Amino acid sequence: MSHWIEKTNIYHIYPLGFCGCEKFRSEAADLEKGRILKVLEWIPHLKKMNMNAVYFGPVFESFEHGYDTTDYYTIDKRLGTNEEFGRVCDELHKNGIRVILDGVFNHVGRDHFAFKDLQQNGYNSRYKDWFAGVNFGGRSPYGDNFSYEGWNGYYNLVKLNLYNNEVVEHLLGAVKMWIEKWNIDGIRFDAADCLSDDFIKRIHRFTRELRPDFWLMGEIIHGQYNRWANPEMFDCVTNYQCYKGIYSSHNDRNYFEIAHSIEYQTGQYGNLYMYNFLDNHDVSRLMSVLKNPDHAECCYTMMYGMYGVPSVYYGSEFGIYGAKGHGADADLAVRPCLELDSIPDKNDRLMLHIAELGAIRLSLPAMQSGSYSKLELKNQTFLFKRELNGQIVYVALNISDGDYTFRINTPYGKLADRLSGKQFNVNGGVAEVCVPKNKSMILVDVAMENPVKPEPQAIEAAPAPAPEQPKNNGVRGLGVPNGRKIVIGGHYKHFKGGDYVVLNVAKDHETCEEQVVYMQIYGKPAVWVRPLNMFLEDVDDHGNIKPRFAFVED
């Protein structure tokens, strides 16, 4: 049965870093800063990127990094209040964007109320059985009069006893609150391989009773993924195998590596849906591990073309760098505070590429849940197809030193690349598709009801007509400046906002007047027509002279 996750592109935010919070909660000067409202400023960007879900890293009260939870029922004061987070969730939902929260259920921080009670009352604490490995015959590394089990050797992360029903009820109560108060759509489970099977199965049943379409995803780094992802437990797991395979195959210029990983997973797990990513809050940014930054576009095409849900880590769509370090501040570089209007050295071309990939994926069911077949594989070139209910999508990648021509056997009469707009004839059932170096293509039947971008070319504007008279909205046309031309396939920004690509210039059947045919780049595709001279002219916008449509140099 189809699930909403198949029609989803996820944007991953680590809130404490994204919002520029203090490293420790105790350093926060104000109790309620409202920083989480910053997400509202990014909603237009999320929509331009064709993202329809946000996965938030930890948002609940903690002492340091969020994974040391001290209160599952309260938003971290460094971020804001429960009410402010509720406003964020409401606005995201109003804009068609689902909300996924990070559930840190394996361990808590030492400031959690139950652990504080254990420190104070020792053996007489009613919460002594809430934690794993409590032993009053020893001392902890922090000097407590008892020892306990810390997660992965970190004793600031106190492992919960998930076989204690009171602990489970406490956690289920929090999840119920998240769903009822904020209408969240899913949970990502931190350190999922450390959770008991019984706990996972119980929370699966519990959330399904509250929301039949609720989504559960487990963080699994090693092991057989179907051990945790199955009809009784998680819907999805983190695809660390292909995360490494994607960047490594590009660095070694050896597509056999990622092809092997995909084929292994297909054979081993069948239709198990994966959570695919190129970087996240725990690993170095893609641009910091790629040997050749020109391979970034192909990496993202690979991820969006694979079976599973794609996830983009905040800021990486702009090609920002950030290498994971060592010691206490190892994660600072990969969890930065970002302001949308001042991204350092941002790569707008990469951002537009990812935005287009998102739009393509949302419009093609075969890209969402179609079968996978390898068609051609060499070290530096890779061609595979996705197919569903007769719809075929071909994904071609080339990281060789020059252009490469794929010979594609296809039932279609003509192919079109959804990324560049190029079209390819089919002769005798074969299309010869030339892909430039370090580029990728997503090829579909040209007869599909979906406009594509033509190759750029310049068209001279006709002589400018007399300026129009002012209108009631305070904007009037001033005519076309000498030498301004239209660029077919060019990216333009309207003076009131909005990004468009010029598809072509047509002639009106009755008047022969030249008309620009252009398409909205982001969001739901919409095609428009406007007279060429009106498209190219300057306007007087309440005293400000500017192009009606400004050409954007990609």
Q: Is the pLDDT of residue 345 over 70?
A: yes
**For 290-318, what is each residue's pLDDT tens digit?**
999 999 999 999 999 999 999 999 999 99
Q: Is the pLDDT of residue 463 over 80?
A: no
**For 322-339, what is each residue's pLDDT tens digit?**
999 998 889 999 999 999
pLDDT at residue 543, rounded to an integer: 76
**For 384-406, what is each residue's pLDDT tens digit?**
999 999 999 999 999 999 999 99
Q: Give the separation between CA 548 and CA 537, rounded to whole angstroms.
A: 6
Over residues 249-262, the mean pLDDT reads 98
pLDDT at residue 527, rounded to an integer: 85
Q: Is the pLDDT of residue 467 over 50?
A: no
**For 506-524, what is each residue's pLDDT tens digit?**
887 667 788 999 888 776 6
Q: How far is CA 219 from the centre of its chain?
A: 16
* pLDDT band at residue 354 using 50, 70 and 90 as cut-offs: very high
Residue 308 CA: distances (Å) to CA of 16, 184, 270, 278, 481: 27, 21, 12, 13, 49
pLDDT at residue 452, rounded to an integer: 47
Q: Give the separation between CA 62 and CA 110, rounded to whole angstroms.
A: 9
Higher confidence at residue 479 or residue 537?
Answer: 537
Question: How many Cβ atoms sit within 10 Å of the Cβ of residue 202?
Answer: 16
Convert 452-474 into a string of H (helix), E (strand) and C (coil): CCCCCEEEECCCCCCCCCCCCCC
* pLDDT band at residue 369 using 50, 70 and 90 as cut-offs: very high
Q: Give the separation between CA 271 and CA 164, rounded to whole angstroms.
A: 34
pLDDT at residue 321, rounded to an integer: 97
Q: What is the largest CA-CA distance in the chain?
A: 94
Instruction: Name the DSSP class of 318.
Output: G
pLDDT at residue 458, rounded to an integer: 44
**For 427-462, what is each residue's pLDDT tens digit?**
999 999 999 999 999 999 998 755 444 444 444 444
pLDDT at residue 109, rounded to an integer: 98
**For 81-90, what is each residue's pLDDT tens digit?**
999 999 999 9
pLDDT at residue 229, rounded to an integer: 97
**For 228-250, what is each residue's pLDDT tens digit?**
999 999 999 999 999 999 999 99
Residue 39 CA: distances (Å) to CA of 45, 56, 59, 183, 342: 10, 10, 13, 17, 15
* pLDDT band at residue 14 using 50, 70 and 90 as cut-offs: very high
Residue 168 CA: distances (Å) to CA of 32, 142, 187: 29, 26, 16
Verdict on whether the full-model pTM lies above 0.85: no
Coil, strand or helix at 20: coil
Residue 289 CA: distances (Å) to CA of 186, 286, 298, 321, 387: 30, 5, 14, 9, 32
pLDDT at residue 30, rounded to an integer: 57
Over residues 203-217, the mean pLDDT reads 97
How many residues belong to the chain?
Answer: 554
Q: Give the separation between CA 12 and CA 331, rounded to whole angstroms.
A: 16
pLDDT at residue 33, rounded to an integer: 67
Over residues 155-163, the mean pLDDT reads 98
Q: Is the pLDDT of residue 150 over 60?
A: yes
**For 473-483, what is each residue's pLDDT tens digit?**
456 677 888 88
User: Average model confidence (pLDDT) for the chain?
Assistant: 92
Coil, strand or helix at 88: helix
Q: Is the pLDDT of residue 542 over 80?
A: no
**For 164-173, what is each residue's pLDDT tens digit?**
999 999 999 9
Check the CA dihedral 475-477-481-486 and report its sign: positive
Q: Which amino acid is at 456?
A: P
Low-confidence winner among 253-257, 323-327, 356-360, 485-489 (lowest mean pLDDT): 485-489
* pLDDT band at residue 469 using 50, 70 and 90 as cut-offs: very low
All structural domains of the chain: 4-106+163-363 (3.20.20.80), 107-161 (3.90.400.10), 369-445 (2.60.40.1180), 457-552 (2.30.30.320)
